[in-house]
Amino acid sequence: MMRVLNKRQPWTQFIATENFKVPTSVPRISRRFYKNLQHFQANYLIIFLGLFIYCLITSPFLLFAVVVSSYCIKKYFNGHKSFKIGGWELPKIHQVALVSVVLTILFVLADAQAVLFWILGTTVTIVGFHAIFYDADALPSIEDPEKFPMIEEV
């Protein structure tokens, strides 16, 4: 993920209003979309992460659920000890099932599914509109035509 974030384009280029134009044809939409996705990939990822952080900050119970699940995952992968209930030791598979059920209930109560769909929907809308309406001809040219095998000139 850090490798992708290091390819971030300048925000002044990303929001340059003089480069937003209505595409003239359907093939141009496809070409713009794929070229912009490749060129602004890190910027789009930052938008997604920003929306995710915004949702965590504005929903304290969701933040609590994420912290608890992170703790459980860390505990599980760092060689946790066996778990006993009333002198009876739970097998590892039952421990995983118990934690999964508890975390699922916690995320449902935190309304995580609505937040997830809101983040994905907003990100897809923003990225889609930007990738379609940002004029790809204003970007540096593509050296390798094989980078966009799905684009066909008509």
In a domain, 153, yes or no: no
Distance CA 55, CA 52 (A): 5
- Model-level pTM? 0.75
Give backbone dihedrals phi and psi of 22, rounded to 5 degrees, phi first.
Answer: -75, 130
**Domain count across the chain:** 1
pLDDT of residue 148: 47
Cα 137–Cα 142–Cα 146 angle in degrees, nearest 5: 130
In a domain, 79, yes or no: yes
pLDDT digits (tens, 9 = 90+) for 122-131: 999 999 999 9
Q: Which residues contact 119 (CB under 8 A, 6 or more apart)?
A: 48, 51, 52, 55
Which residue's entry shows tokens 């995710």? 52
**Once rounded to an integer, what is the mean pLDDT over residues 36-59?**
94
In a domain, 1, yes or no: no
In a domain, 142, yes or no: no
In a domain, 120, yes or no: yes
In a domain, 18, yes or no: no
